[in-house]
Amino acid sequence: MFVGNESADLRLMLVDSAQCFHWSLLGDGSFAAVVAGRPVRLWRDERGVQAEGGMDALALRRYLDLDRDYAALAAEYAHIPAARRAIELYPGLRVLNQPAWEALVAFILSANNNVGRIRGLVDGLSRALGPEFEIGGRTFHGIPSPAALLDCEEEELRALGAGYRAPFLIGSALTVAEGFPLDELGTMDYEEAHELLAELPGVGDKVADCVLLFGCGQASAFPVDVWVERLLKCWFGIDCGGSRARMARAARERLGAHAGLLQQFLFHAARMGDMEL
């Protein structure tokens, strides 16, 4: 199935840029995952991005953010040298639109972890509790649903590596199962959505902004971790006394409605050492 001929770098988007943690690179160069309970395999050929599995082309275009004008994004920030350089470095980078629940689980697990460890935790949890599908001759599992997590005891999740995050997963699953408007956060004002999301167990400012950016389409959400804190100080002169919440607010005010999209380019450039801090 043809998805599009935009210059999307699938490896950068799905594996290398730390937006999500459950895609796998297969031996033939394609990428596979279970997304929203549906198996998907993606690859590029001479025509563009191709896919097979349970998602249609329209859903995949939205997931991969192929309909956003990234040339316009580059023009919007062309007057800022660090922003211009970061966008130039990664012409194939796009910010994914993931299912909000999957982003929530992944970023709760991300707290105080590196990318490799997060991938391992998401994989272990999915293998034990998620839906199973065959993709490209291999078995893959999706991120478990709220109901699947609620069927678990806390000690079971701890044994899967969740550690102190286990009660946060169960508590958030219960809140979502009881009607928390997770899938409506993308239509809310940013401040309202952030305040609501931060009420969930294990969801602080940074996790909330990750979920809003990568799972709810809130393009101004600006997650601040150690790399982003450094780059804000170095490239933008934003310090705020070390308060990451205030730094995120200052970045949103300075960079506007697409601050979070730009953040992903800046974050990747800093983390990879492609731009010197």
Taking the C-alpha atoms of residue 44 and residue 161, their distance in angstroms, rounded to an integer, is 34
Cα–Cα nearest to 227, from 260, 273, 262, 259: 273
Taking the C-alpha atoms of residue 30 and residue 40, their distance in angstroms, rounded to an integer, is 10
The SS3 call for residue 167 is: helix
For residue 68, how many other CB atoms are within 10 A of its CB? 18
Name residues whose C-beta falls within 8 Å of residue 109's C-beta, 6 or more positions apart in sequence. Answer: 21, 118, 121, 122, 125, 162, 165, 169
**Could you tell me if 95 and 87 are in contact, meaning their C-beta atoms sit under 8 angstroms apart?**
no
Taking the C-alpha atoms of residue 162 and residue 158, their distance in angstroms, rounded to an integer, is 5
Cα–Cα nearest to 214, from 83, 88, 65: 65
Cα–Cα nearest to 109, from 161, 32, 36, 185: 161
233: annotated active-site residue: no
- Active-site residue, from 41, 206, 244, 252: 206
Taking the C-alpha atoms of residue 209 and residue 214, their distance in angstroms, rounded to an integer, is 8
**Could you tell me if 127 and 95 are in contact, meaning their C-beta atoms sit under 8 angstroms apart?**
no
Catalytically active residues are 206
